[in-house]
């Protein structure tokens, strides 16, 4: 850097893009010092910010005309925290040799900089394979298809989510071995080759921060998947594990089918779990749904829920209330269908009417929960 450079920018704009970029920084202490840093590149068109933890990376940019071009590496979270606490509308960044100075009318902070050549090169997926989807549709799919993933990162095959598409239908699937959820929605455009990859569920949750309202492009190759919206580019490395053959566990017929409004059922479960959040709840399925909880040393709770439609045989089944409530909350549906075959078999939940026979996965929300054995 031959001469000092000054960049003036709106504080809220810089804070917003830096906050988004910093989502890819390591949560704890970085393995390597440069992983706690954000790369800032500037030229006569834009300011670009990039951060990575080597498994994921996020790049954002601001349109900006600078008389010169260059790059620096600065402590991202530290600068982000300071920007958030400042009150001024505009801030100035002074770049001078190995130092960054952040100034406003009343504040000044200086930071020692690391060499830029220590920052890793961020590869991006090839453009040849690209899906396009609306933000609202992808947001619903993320809500429906991610919550079932295992929180245990050591179980790589269960802590990730499967991303696939079949022509214009985009699907996201996750499971922790006790439950499974599937979210699907329509694509705006798609290539001839279908997507079939697996990414960490915790990484995929960052896609929720793509919220400008613009359509989102999804590009992929054999090593990574990229999500692009406007000036933000997120890239995630694929997991090496193989996703379980989930379609094999989804029942193709249901002898008992129940249709219930989601909110009244959620409210009943919420009241019953006040007695104990971990105690199994008995579902007595029939023309009227009866929910019962018995807590030793505390007492009993009973709720009845009106049934919109019931076909098949009456039965009793014990459910994990937390799993059940999560499947209802993430369904994004006012009415849900529940399919049963016995008190021991998986419970099928869908926002569309469950057929007696047919492929039960196709363009909608689906969840599967194993009943509890009492």
Q: What domains are there in the chain, each with its CATH number?
A: 5-118 (3.10.150.10), 130-246 (3.10.150.10), 251-369 (3.10.150.10)
Q: What is the pLDDT of residue 233?
A: 96
Collapsed DSSP state (helix, strand, coil) of residue 124: coil
In this structure, how many other beta carbons lie within 10 angstroms of the beta carbon of residue 64?
17
Q: What is the pLDDT of residue 26?
A: 84
Report the distance separating Cα 153 and Cα 174, nearest Å: 13
Q: Are strands 70-75 and 90-96 parallel, antiparallel or unpaired?
A: unpaired
Per-residue pLDDT band for 362 (boundaries 50, 70, 90) equals low
Which pair of structure tokens corresponds to residue 136? Answer: 């609202």
71 pLDDT more than 70: yes
Percentage of the chain modeled with pLDDT above 90? 71
- Lowest average pLDDT, out of 7-16, 215-224, 226-235, 346-355, goes to 346-355
Per-residue pLDDT band for 121 (boundaries 50, 70, 90) equals confident
Q: What is the dihedral of CA 176, 155, 125, 48, to 10 degrees?
A: 90
Q: Mean per-residue pLDDT for 308-324?
A: 94
Q: What is the pLDDT of residues 13-51, one digit of tens each?
A: 999 999 999 999 887 777 788 888 999 999 988 999 999
160 pLDDT more than 70: yes
Collapsed DSSP state (helix, strand, coil) of residue 299: strand
Inter-CA distances, 81 with 14, 42, 84, Å: 12, 22, 5
Q: What is the pLDDT of residue 308?
A: 94
Place of tokens 């020692």: 112
Report the distance separating Cα 100 and Cα 1, nearest Å: 12
Report the distance separating Cα 211 and Cα 186, nearest Å: 19
Which pair of structure tokens corresponds to residue 134? Answer: 């609306």
Q: What is the pLDDT of residue 152?
A: 84
Spatial neighbors of 338 by CB under 8 A, at least 6 apart, are 257, 258, 259, 260, 285, 347, 348, 349
Report the distance separating Cα 158 and Cα 176, nearest Å: 5
Inter-CA distances, 13 with 107, 207, 228, Å: 18, 19, 19
Whether 225 and 218 have beta carbons less than 8 Å apart is answered as: yes
């Amino acid at each position: 850097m031959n001469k000092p450079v000054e960049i003036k920018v709106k504080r809220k704009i810089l804070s917003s893009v830096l906050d988004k970029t910093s989502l890819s920084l390591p949560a704890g202490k970085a393995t390597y010092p440069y992983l706690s840093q954000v790369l800032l590149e500037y030229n006569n068109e834009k300011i670009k910010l990039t951060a990575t933890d080597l498994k994921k990376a996020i790049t954002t940019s601001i349109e900006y005309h600078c008389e010169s071009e260059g790059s620096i590496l600065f402590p991202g979270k530290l600068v982000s925290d300071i920007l958030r606490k400042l009150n001024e509308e505009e801030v100035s960044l002074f770049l001078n040799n190995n130092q960054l100075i952040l100034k406003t009318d009343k504040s000044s902070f200086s930071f020692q900089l690391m060499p830029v050549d220590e920052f890793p090169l961020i590869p991006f997926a090839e453009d040849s394979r690209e899906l396009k989807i609306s933000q609202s549709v992808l947001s619903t799919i993320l809500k429906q298809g991610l919550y079932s993933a295992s929180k245990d990162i050591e179980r790589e095959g269960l802590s990730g989510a499967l991303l696939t598409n079949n022509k214009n239908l985009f699907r996201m699937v996750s499971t922790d071995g006790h439950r499974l959820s599937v979210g699907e929605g329509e694509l705006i455009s798609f290539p001839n080759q279908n997507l079939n990859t697996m990414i960490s569920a915790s990484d995929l949750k960052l896609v929720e921060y793509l919220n400008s309202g613009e359509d989102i492009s999804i590009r992929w190759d054999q090593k990574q998947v990229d999500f692009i919206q406007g000036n933000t580019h997120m890239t995630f490395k694929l997991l090496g594990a193989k996703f379980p053959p989930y379609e094999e566990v989804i029942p193709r017929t249901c002898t008992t089918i129940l249709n219930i409004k989601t909110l009244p059922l959620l409210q009943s479960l919420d009241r019953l779990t006040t007695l104990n959040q971990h105690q199994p709840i008995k579902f007595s399925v029939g023309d009227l749904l009866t929910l019962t909880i018995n807590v030793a040393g505390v007492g009993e709770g009973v709720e009845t829920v009106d049934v919109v439609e019931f076909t098949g045989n009456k039965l009793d089944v014990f459910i994990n209330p937390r799993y059940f409530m999560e499947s209802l909350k993430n369904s994004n549906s006012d009415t849900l269908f529940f399919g049963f075959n016995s008190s021991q078999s998986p419970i099928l939940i869908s926002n569309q009417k469950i057929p007696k026979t047919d492929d039960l996965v196709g363009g909608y929300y689906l969840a599967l929960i194993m009943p509890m054995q009492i």
